[in-house]
Structure 1
């Protein structure tokens, strides 16, 4: 959500920020509506005060036996004026809010201009891409040949974009999740949290998933939402709170199932596990004071990178350009892993600083010496388990179709060092 006071103070700057995202100007129109709303509220207060005065005069007149017909007529007129002014103010307020809640966050000054992902900027690249003495296979070829990745049965049960993992691959997913949680909690100070998988409208709206992304999420018949990411319950856990300054920073992590309808993705990544309706993800969320959010963004991204470094999976950090930065983000780093089977870089984590955008939507504040102020919220994948499995399987595949388990995961796999056919 945006600060209407800041918009009033400099509508041109507000429109310039929208232009960076390729959006049309709205500043002057919103200011005009806001002026009309405030004028209606001022007139409403005057009418309410006048009606209160006339009510007293009518009472006094009746007690003294005076004719109060004219006063009573005016009282009726004022009552009608008050109803009309209230309706006008409410309609204008709703119109302003409808526009504001549909507008994306303002971009950080360091975000590069650009229309789409082709203009994202490589910040750095880590790791060495493996050279194969054979043609590397894609993850779904490996998984199906091992007899441990079952798409037909999942499709029979649930339709397209689901998978059943069996045996060692099911354990590998669990091992990855445990390894990520252990790393983030013991080394980076995140508090492990078990979250609800169903949330209400307020939590979805507060974390900028509504109304824009309603079609990309699943809604239950009783009006709740399956979480698209644990970012929603983690961040919304401070919804409506005024936190003591001493409580900040708050760092939380959760390993949870995530649910996405993948609306508009027909024909994209139809093979394998890259784009699923249900997947597991280790989420990172930070709630911090405004002056700490830039450093927290770097810290969070480094935490996610550490997982890839420990797994020895080549990756690169991308600074997203204006046209590719998400709706709620002021600045985003994507981590892209190298997939040998595809011969391509693919996103495996996205770490975003939303600044006070989400906090305004969910009214999350902290106490300062001068009064309550909005917190800054950040979120990131640390990492998406399915995509990490894809990168791991394709990076560590052997010519016979088996998969070597990275050293750091062997203890989590009960000593298993090679995943072979079931």
Structure 2
């Protein structure tokens, strides 16, 4: 959410920043609603002062035996109380409408990110590794002989419908090993705090991180009002919801491996083959909570942490900074990490690492108290995949595929697989 005082101070700058997202000016509407709200509050305060004065005068009139004035003033006090109640109700309604409007406006893009219309205008900032030269035509993950026995879409469709997968045998074991490997690296080498969170959350938690009100169609809600998390960003970030912490508490760096659920509304026809885009999937998610002056450095740190997973798995990747037209609504700046997929002959997103600034903190009312004293400040929040487990599995098997249909597995995973090094063409881990 946005700071109304910042909009009051420089509405032109606010509109200019939103225009980089292709949005029309909105500050005049915001300020008109703010002025109406403040006018109702002032009128209520004025009426309260008048009621207080009349209440004092009532006693004086009674004391001097002026019955007519006593009755007039008593009636005036009653009228003022009704007027105050009505004005307060109107002010609350104006405040709710203004909050709803501010809640629906996306974050302002960081000045450093490029302008652009869509993903074609993103800018590459880093590249690691070289795609392996193959003397055969590479297959997509679901067509590799070693993988086909353990990746069952037909049974999953019978159980749940489209965009689900049933993993078994060597493929399920590889998926589990990848998640464990990621957690170990983030905890032991990157110093993140491992966390196990719920996957069902209250509605206000979804508001806190910006999934609501605008993107409710992208998630699933239960009949009793809980929401299934689209990512552990929701649970990990909301740990500080409503808190005012000491400065010494920061930074907080969390990591969690969870099931994630997305309806994929509006994505019909996109990535429908295989398990690239699913309704249910697993991610290892990183979240950091920092002081404002530390968030840019933390963003770079988190990007390197996600990249480190790919480097340990010996997977070629590139990192791009998203342009304004491709930037998520709640974020100021995002680095997308794209892994090389030989079966598609292209790089595909495997992690987004983003800084929200104080946008989520304002929605959550999450603050910290400066050590030197002074007014509590809003924290900054960041999140990033470290990594999406299913997409990492896709990258591992496509990059490790051999001409005979087998898959060689990254050396770093061998200890997690009890010394197994490959999946043979029959789907057995050996």
Instruction: Give me the TM-score of the superposition, normalised by structure 2.
Output: 0.96
Deviations 1:146-173 (A, max 9, x none): 4111111111111111001111110101
Query: Counterparts of 2:208 and 2:348 in 1: how far apart (Å)?
Result: 29
In structure 2, the residue matched to 1:11 is 11
Match of 2:84 in 1: 82
Deviation of 1:132 after TM superposition, in Å, equals: 1.1
Q: Displacement, 1:79?
A: 3.0
List runs of 5+ in structure 1 lacking aligned partners: none
Range with greater deviation from structure 2 (14-23 or 55-64)? 55-64
- Alpha-carbon shift at residue 409 of structure 1 (Å): 0.5
Match of 1:351 among 350, 353, 368: 353
Query: Hey, what's the Cα distance between the residues in 1 that align with 2:405 and 2:210?
Result: 43
Change (3 A) 1:146 1:43: closer
1:65 corresponds to: 65
Secondary structure of the structure 1 residue equivalent to 2:260 = strand
Aligned to 1:314: 316
- Alpha-carbon distance in 2 for matches of 1:143, 1:70: 93
Q: Distance in 1 between matches of 2:290 and 2:81?
A: 48
SS of the residue corresponding to residue 337 of structure 1 reads: strand
User: Which deviations, in whole Å up to 9, do the C-alpha atoms of 1:23-82 show, x marking residues without a partner?
Assistant: 111112211221222122111111012112212322333344321332234334323322
| 1:146 and 1:402 in contact (8 A); partners too | no
Cα root mean square deviation, aligned: 1.3
- For 1:345-384, what aligned pairs fall within 5 Å after superposition? 345-368=347-370, 369=372, 370-384=374-388
3-state SS of 2:221 partner:
coil
Report if the CA contact (8 A) 1:143-1:149 is conserved.
no
Q: Distance in 2 between matches of 1:261 and 1:28?
A: 35
User: Partners of 2:147 and 2:188 in 1: how far apart?
Assistant: 37
Q: CA deviation at 1:145?
A: 5.8
Q: Confirm or deny: 8 A CA contact 1:144 1:150 kept in the other structure.
A: no
Q: Is the Cα–Cα contact under 8 Å of residues 146 and 406 in structure 2 kept in the other structure?
A: no
Q: Which digits, 9 at most, give the CA deviation of each residue in 1:298-327, with x for residues without a partner?
A: 000000000111111110000000010101
Shift of 1:262: 0.6
In the alignment, the residues of structure 1 paired with residue 205 and residue 343 of structure 2 have an alpha-carbon distance, to the nearest angstrom, of 39
For residues 22-421 of structure 1, what are the structure 2 equivalents within 5 Å?
22-66=22-66, 67=68, 68-142=70-144, 146-368=148-370, 369=372, 370-420=374-424, 421=426
- Alpha-carbon distance in 2 for matches of 1:240, 1:24: 32
Q: Mark the runs of 5 or more structure 2 residues left unpaired by the alignment.
A: none
1:124 is displaced (CA, Å) by: 1.5
8 Å CA contact 1:207–1:235 kept in 2: the answer is yes
By how many angstroms is 1:383 displaced? 0.3
Structure 1 position 240, deviation (Å) = 0.8
Question: How many residues are paired up?
Answer: 422
TM-superposed deviation, 1:418: 1.1
- Paired residues of 2:175 and 2:390 also in contact (CA < 8 A): yes
